[in-house]
């Protein structure tokens, strides 16, 4: 199911505890490092880097593949993808095999075949959104910027 509403993405974030981040980087100048670091320090999620070229990020052990992660920890709730669109079909196949609940394609990671494959397999699918931005705006982290969270409420909700 494609999660194209704010409330659907909020439900996914509230119901999840583990995030396997495909393409997480140890380079602080890369967006995948910034998102990893933010989620690890500012959210309640257990975030694990998946990258065959590194062994750890900020002391958190990295796994070379989603399959290796799933063998050690079980299926992740969310597979967050920082890869080129042309590279994501095999990632979706691996997420399905690993038993992931959801796949989250970061900004610009749009591959119609991968989206369709994930949707048809029953994964919850978020496309062209940043998990860090969505988490921050739904937990009140962007409220001081005047950004519209897309939710109407008299109270600030906490995802923590």
Q: What is the mean pLDDT of residues 11-40?
A: 96
The 3-state secondary structure of the chain reads CECCCHHHHHHHHHCCCEEEEECCCCCCCCHHHHHHHHHHHHCCCEEEEECCCCCEECCEECECCHHHHHHHHCCCCEEEECCCHHHHHHHHHHHHHHCCCEEEECCCCCCHHHHHHHHHCCCEEEECCCHHHHHHHHCCCCHHHCCCCCCCCCCCCCCC
Tens digits of per-residue pLDDT, 124-142?
999 999 999 999 988 876 6
CA distance to 16, 24, 35, 47, 90, per residue, from 30 (Å)? 25, 9, 9, 17, 23
In a domain, 158, yes or no: no
The CATH number of whichever domain residue 50 belongs to comes to 3.40.50.720
pTM score: 0.88
Instruction: Kindly report, residue by residue over 103-127, the tens digit of the pLDDT.
Output: 999 999 999 999 999 999 999 999 9
Flag whether 91 is in a domain. yes
**Number of neighbouring beta carbons within 10 Å of residue 4:** 11
Q: Give residue 118's domain range.
A: 6-145
State the pLDDT confidence band at 80, using cuts at 50, 70 and 90.
very high
User: Would residue 151 count as lying in a domain?
Assistant: no
Q: What is the pLDDT of residue 144?
A: 46
- Name the pairing type of β-strands 78-81 and 60-61: unpaired
Average pLDDT over residues 70-83: 97
125 in a structural domain: yes
Percent of the chain with pLDDT over 70: 88
Domain membership of residue 153 (yes or no) is: no
- Joined together, the tokens standing for residue 4 give 């194209």
Higher pLDDT pick, 158 / 35: 35
Q: How many domains does the chain have?
A: 1
**Model confidence at 3, in pLDDT bands (50, 70, 90)?**
very high
Q: Does any domain span residue 52?
A: yes
- Cα Rg of the chain (Å, integer): 15
């Amino acid at each position: 199911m494609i999660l194209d509403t704010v409330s659907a993405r909020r439900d996914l974030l509230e119901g999840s505890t583990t995030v396997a981040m495909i393409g997480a980087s140890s380079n602080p100048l890369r967006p995948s490092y910034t998102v990893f670091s933010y989620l690890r320090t500012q959210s309640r999620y257990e975030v694990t880097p998946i990258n065959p070229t590194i062994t750890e990020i900020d002391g958190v052990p990295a796994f070379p593949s989603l399959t290796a992660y799933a063998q050690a920890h079980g299926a992740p709730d969310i597979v967050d993808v920082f890869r080129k669109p042309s590279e994501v079909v095999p990632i979706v196949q691996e997420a399905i095999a690993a038993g992931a609940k959801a796949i989250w394609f970061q900004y610009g990671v749009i591959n119609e075949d991968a989206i369709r494959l994930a949707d048809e397999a029953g994964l919850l699918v978020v496309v062209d959104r940043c998990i860090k931005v969505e988490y921050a705006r739904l937990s009140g982290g962007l409220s001081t910027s005047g950004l519209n969270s897309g939710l109407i409420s008299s109270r600030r909700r906490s995802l923590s």
